[in-house]
Amino acid sequence: MAAMTQWESFLPPIEQVDYYDEMAETQGESGSSPLEVAIIGGGMTGLALAVGLLKRDVNFTLYERADNFGELGVGIHFTPNAERAMAALDPRVLQSYVDIATHAEGGFLTFVDGFHEGKGADPLTSTEETMFQLHVGDGYKACRRCDFVDQLVKHIPPEKVRYQKWLQSIGAQEGRSILTFRDGSKAQADIVVGCDGIRSKVREAMFGSANSCPKAQYSHQLGFRGLVPMDKALAAVGPSKTSNALGHLGPGGFVLTIPLSGVNAMHVEAFVMDSQPWPEIKSESDTQRYVLPATRDEVVASFKDFGPTVQTYVSLLPEKLDKWAVFDMLDAPAPSFSKARMCLAGDAAHASTPNQGAGAGAGMEDALVLAEVLAAVANLPHLDEGAVIAALGVYSEMRHERCQWLVASSRRVAELFTWKDPQYGHNKDKIRCEIEERSHVLWDYDTDGMVKETIAKFKTELERM
């Protein structure tokens, strides 16, 4: 057997690690490590990473710019690969989702032709032609984002969180990162993880803020979303259409209708492809920059040529609602997810359109890789800057290609959903084949193998030092 390097004896043997079981035995017995991680941003990715680091006894502080954690009360779905990553992070992360999610009848996500349904038909009795169905893992389920965040927060000790900390800049001093916040306060950390969304200040610190720098840009897709009380939906379209998760497809747009039993409502998201630029709004508020006031009449006009079921659903939306711009990083991607002692995760790294239902799930995969490789760093005999930089480089290497594929694939899915490809049109067999292929590239990903490869690459990097 080859002799171990000075580092290797402190890392868990790859073949012996079961990432779905308790891992305390692999992380040492001396309590929390001296490594200090700063998580910037308390969205889903940041919170999931925090829970994963807690499980692995890695020191961290989570900095949130708001005075509390919160997400919009809109629907979220996690695909099978994401659920595996959540379970490996900490079973409580997955359970936080399962406990509040609504299962669609039959477990399918069904896509229908929302355009050619008979004009003037009664949606209570009419039928939209099924184009294809996706059976997602152990069954399609969804919940509200805000409910999932509320569950995750329960697992994080309050003393690990700092609220109203809006990151201003990141500097360096004596081998540590120095965080400066808008309130004038400062903090130090060995590693800074940017989970701070599409306008990431960590990404700006890594790559700059000039027009040529990596950034999220308007994808020329906008969305309207709202909740329709279940009793109104039932009275208007009937039980079969309100007990199933449906995607109503058509030219130029599509509508998702998802039952949410926890709030006794249908979650309705209507997406429109938009050829116009999004107006430049000078505001530090993401809500003011990316969300504009809209009316139900605007949504109705956008889907006036669709079938009666779609028209009925959008007519049930609140009279006043918002339309939000969908931004992604396809056109200006980050060349890497790490630089020096900083790295990016979730939307800060690879903001994606929601069409493949996988953006938040990719953040769960990010969090798992980071939790594992940071635990490996924390378990080393002493904190070494070279090991820190190597670990973050391995994280970027493991995540960058897959996430860039997802961003591009999600754009492509929008083309298929809106019948934009002239070679496909609304040919359901062609659309189904490509959607299934893309879905399985996403769903069948070996998350356990991802973790083992991460640790193996990190060991290799340590051996080179």
* pLDDT recorded at residue 259: 87
* pLDDT recorded at residue 437: 97
Asked whether the predicted pLDDT for residue 443 surpasses 70, the reply is: yes
Annotation marks residue 225 as catalytic: yes
**Residue 192 and residue 38 in contact, taking contact as beta carbons nearer than 8 Å:** yes
* pLDDT recorded at residue 72: 56
* pLDDT recorded at residue 3: 41
CATH 3.50.50.60 fits 8-96+145-216+331-419+441-464, yes or no: yes
pLDDT cut 90: percent of the chain above it: 76
Helix (H, G, I), strand (E, B) or coil at 321: strand
Q: Identity (one letter) of the amino acid at 27?
A: Q
Condensed to tens digits (0 to 9), the pLDDT of residues 83-135 reads 999 999 999 999 999 999 988 777 788 999 999 998 889 999 999 999 999 88
Condensed to tens digits (0 to 9), the pLDDT of residues 67-86 reads 887 655 577 889 999 999 99
Condensed to tens digits (0 to 9), the pLDDT of residues 32-43 reads 458 999 999 999
Condensed to tens digits (0 to 9), the pLDDT of residues 376-410 reads 999 999 888 999 999 999 999 999 999 999 999 99
Would you place residue 242 in the very low, low, confident or very high pLDDT band (cuts 50, 70, 90)?
very high
* pLDDT recorded at residue 34: 86
Q: How far apart are CA 332 and CA 213, in angstroms?
A: 7
Q: Which of 84, 145, 176, 225 is catalytic?
A: 225
Asked whether the predicted pLDDT for residue 182 surpasses 70, the reply is: yes
H or E element at residue 142 = strand 141-144
* pLDDT recorded at residue 287: 63
pTM score, two decimals? 0.90
* pLDDT recorded at residue 24: 34
* pLDDT recorded at residue 108: 80
Taken as a whole, the chain contains a residue count of 465
* pLDDT recorded at residue 368: 98
Backbone angles phi, psi at 310, to 5 degrees: -65, -45
Q: How far apart are CA 342 and CA 194, in angstroms?
A: 8
Condensed to tens digits (0 to 9), the pLDDT of residues 198-209 reads 999 999 999 999
Asked whether the predicted pLDDT for residue 416 surpasses 70, the reply is: yes
H or E element at residue 112 = strand 108-113
What is each CA distance from 337 to 37, 235, 240, 445, 448, in whole angstroms? 16, 49, 44, 20, 21
Backbone angles phi, psi at 116, to 5 degrees: -95, 5
What is each CA distance from 380 to 50, 55, 107, 368, 455, in whole angstroms? 20, 17, 45, 19, 13
Q: How far apart, in Å, do the first and last CA atoms of the chain sit?
A: 21
**Residue 219 and residue 327 in contact, taking contact as beta carbons nearer than 8 Å:** yes
Question: Can you say how many angstroms the Cα of residue 231 is from the centroid of all Cα atoms in its chain?
Answer: 31
Sheet of 176-181, strands arranged across: 167-173, 176-181, 186-189
Q: Is 465 exposed, middle or buried (0-12, 13-18, 19+ CB in 10 A)?
A: exposed
Instruction: Give me the chain's average pLDDT, please.
Output: 90
What is each CA distance from 227 to 137, 149, 235, 366, 408, in whole angstroms? 26, 19, 15, 30, 29
Condensed to tens digits (0 to 9), the pLDDT of residues 1-32 reads 344 444 444 455 544 344 333 333 333 343 44
Q: Identity (one letter) of the amino acid at 196?
A: D
- For the segment 267-278, the average pLDDT, to the nearest whole number, is 94
* pLDDT recorded at residue 137: 73
447 or 142: which leads in pLDDT: 447
Domain range annotation of the chain: 8-96+145-216+331-419+441-464, 105-139+217-328
CATH code of the domain made up of 105-139+217-328: 3.30.9.30
Of the listed ranges 23-27, 171-175, 283-287, the one predicted with least confidence: 23-27
- For the segment 48-66, the average pLDDT, to the nearest whole number, is 97
- For the segment 330-349, the average pLDDT, to the nearest whole number, is 98
What is each CA distance from 308 to 229, 256, 300, 411, in whole angstroms? 19, 15, 11, 27
